[in-house]
Amino acid sequence: MFDFVDGTAFNHEQGQRARKLFAAVVLAALDDAIADDKKFGNGPEQIARWARSRDGRDVLTCAGIDPNERVVKGLMEFVGKGVRTSVALSREESERRAQALMDASEAA
């Protein structure tokens, strides 16, 4: 009985680690597209091409992201903003955005 529970917990933990690994690949692809956008101006097109490719769809699926057209548009918008993923995921950036939203709602 306990062997089954331990095995299931271990498999779930391994799956979570694999999902995080693939999510890191998605973040790296976003950073590469942002760098391409700054250098060549074609970042959103690059990330869209990657996300629609077979490899991109497989990576997105393994990361737990449904590779549909809505996701592709969201990735393109993110790259278009030009904010690196490390900055976008930081606490300071999220606090700054929240403050900006509060200021905008108070002004309205």
Residue 87: the pLDDT is: 85
How confident is the chain (108 residues) per 10-residue block, as mean pLDDT?
65 91 96 96 97 97 96 97 87 81 83
Q: What pLDDT score does 102 carry?
A: 86
C-beta of residue 46 within 8 angstroms of C-beta of residue 89:
no
